[in-house]
Amino acid sequence: MRLLLVRHGQSEWNAARRLQGQADIALSDLGKSQADALRPVIEGIAPCRAIASDLERVRETARRIGAVSPRFTDRLREINVGDWTGRAIGDIQAEDEGAYLGWRAGTSAPPGGEIWSDFADRVTSVIEEERRTPCQNLLVVCHGGVIRAILQRYIGLGPAHIIPVAPASLSAFRLGGDKPPRLELFNYLPGQLDFEAPD
């Protein structure tokens, strides 16, 4: 099985550099156009089925990239950032850079936030359910943290070693067979590269 991991397009809070976690924030105009640009790539791959987070920014991304009848689930939501929800990233860093870096590395949680290992368990449980039904290319439309959790659990790439996943980008890796899980593609954007993606 190949997992096709798509992060939602830029949201209004991504544009403002605010952490959103599980807040239900809509796509920005740029986010809509980013998702539209990815649609021909996804259509060319023709996934056998799709699953997605139930938050609106992901729902709209899934529609815009042409996901066919996706199964929406709250278990693919972004990590809950607790008291940091809605806060500007720069303000959090200015207040406590170490706490922010620890959160990005998956070694600490914001006050009232979700523990990384619990989050990764939640996300992985969905993928493991999907693996029970054959599918060559499974489309997973989700959030940057969800993609980082999947990469950590299946290929051992810790969140501290992964740049933020670009909005409306495609990453892919293969699961199963007689070989270990393999990363095939990371942060692909049609016609461009993005090394400065928001958290």
- pLDDT per position in the chain (199 positions), as tens? 999 999 999 999 999 999 999 999 999 999 999 999 999 999 999 999 999 999 999 999 999 999 999 999 999 999 999 999 999 999 999 999 999 999 999 999 999 999 999 999 999 999 999 999 999 999 999 999 999 999 999 999 999 998 889 999 999 999 987 889 999 999 999 976 666 666 6
State the pLDDT at residue 14.
96
- Tokens 């959160």 correspond to 103
State the pLDDT at residue 163.
86
Residues 6+ apart with CB under 8 A from 173: 2, 3, 5, 151, 154, 155, 181, 182, 183, 184, 185
State the pLDDT at residue 178.
83
pTM of the model: 0.94
From the candidates 8, 60, 114, 143, give the one annotated as an active-site residue: 8
State the pLDDT at residue 197.
66
12 is catalytic: no
8 is catalytic: yes
The structure tokens listed for 15 are 């544009």
Of 171, 161, 169, the closest CA to residue 193 belongs to 169
Answer yes or no: are the C-beta atoms of 100 and 9 closer than 8 Å.
Answer: no
Pairing of strands 71-73, 137-142: unpaired
CA 190 to chain centre: 17
State the pLDDT at residue 179.
86
Q: What's the angle, vertex CA 13, arms to CA 50 and CA 108, rounded to 5? A: 80
From the candidates 60, 78, 114, 143, give the one annotated as an active-site residue: 78
